[in-house]
Amino acid sequence: PDLWYYRELLKNGVFIGLDQISKIKYCTEQTRIDLICELIRLGYRKKILLCGDMARQSYLTSFGGGPGFGYILKVFLPRLVRQLTEQGMQEEQAMDIRDDLICNNPRQYLSFEA
């Protein structure tokens, strides 16, 4: 992930979607978490969307695959919240950010309002 590129996009008010969260062949989970923490630190928490790219049957736990739809909620977000608190953020604020990432930001994006 290119932090400079994301910052340039975000300066223009766009949302960015960080896709393929569970797929380490593109970059490690820790790299994604570090990127998100830095974007949050820079003030862009309201413009980040998380995506799992679960388009294949083999990614779905209901078909014996993985990581499944629950990965972001059950694995990724708890790690992100833990890192934010380890970096000195209050747990309540970290949980508010989690809510932005999974509820508020997608709602805002899909409302087609700036």
Angle between helices 29-41 and 77-86 (to 10 degrees): 50
Question: pLDDT tens track of the chain, all 114 residues?
Answer: 889 999 999 999 999 998 777 667 677 889 999 999 999 999 999 999 998 676 656 566 666 655 656 778 888 999 999 999 999 999 999 999 999 999 999 999 999 765
For 34-95, strand residue ranges (E) read: 48-50
Task: Extract the tokens encoding 52.
Answer: 């799992």
Helix or strand run (H / E) with residue 13 = none
What's the CA gap between 47 and 100, in Å, rounded? 9
Please tell me the predicted confidence (pLDDT) of residue 60.
Answer: 61
Domains of the chain: 3-110 (3.20.20.140)
Q: What is the pLDDT of residue 22?
A: 67
Three-state DSSP class for 18? strand
The whole-number pLDDT of residue 112 equals: 79
